[in-house]
Amino acid sequence: MKNLLVASTSTIYGGNFLEYLLPQLKAHFKDIETLLFIPYARPGGISYESYTNVVAEALKEFSFSVKGIHQFDDPKKAIEGAEAIFVGGGNTFVLIDQLHRQELVVPLRKVLENGIPYLGTSAGSNIVGLNVKTTNDMPIVHPESLDALGLIPFDINPHYLDPDPDSKHKGETRETRIKEFHSCNDITVIGLREGSWIAVKGEQMILKGTLNARIFKKGKSPFELPANSDLRQLL
């Protein structure tokens, strides 16, 4: 049974890394001894070790330890033997490129389908959907595939921003970009605003947090879905 926490971001405005999610994580990662962290997205190009240290510091009050996948000789075996997994944000293209290069997509999908607790933030949430085509990131590397884990039947747009009516910026809005995506794809996209997350338990998928999500379907007007909605209604 899938047990996923799919969050828009690791840090909300005015808060510390993972701070707003800590109450949920206490239950989500209950009774584990080690959390496997996958730092491949490398925000700002930082090292795997530095990124892992950021996570360990944020979770230092928890009873488990944090170990980066780069610390293992065999990443595949690290995933297969993990008690729980966290994939952090950064650049989604860099993340999915590494997962494909190291042939980790299939083993990661398998253990998550079998129910070990998973936390994804930003890029780590992008990879839970069908593909990563709705990321906001720059394609600074060229992955062999944009296919993702397919653990939920949608695509995610983390950090979703509404157009600012007072802005003088004339470039494309987030909504415009998603409409471009729908000119070539027929996949529902969930615009997750900062501080929102999706709690997946088995086949149940509940929008959590205090904000609405913006829902985009090909050929239809976008609409709002309130917090605590079951996303299965979108199927």
| Residues labelled catalytic | 122, 137, 159
Q: If we measure between CA atoms, which residue out of 107, 138, 137 comes closest to residue 125?
A: 137
According to DSSP, the residues that pair with 223 across neighbouring strands are: 215
Residue 201, token pair as written in the block: 């338990």
Distances from the Cα of 99 to the Cα of 48, 199, 203, angstroms:
14, 23, 25
Q: If we measure between CA atoms, which residue out of 11, 91, 100 comes closest to residue 46?
A: 91
Q: How many CA atoms within 13 Å lie on the side-chain side of 141?
A: 19
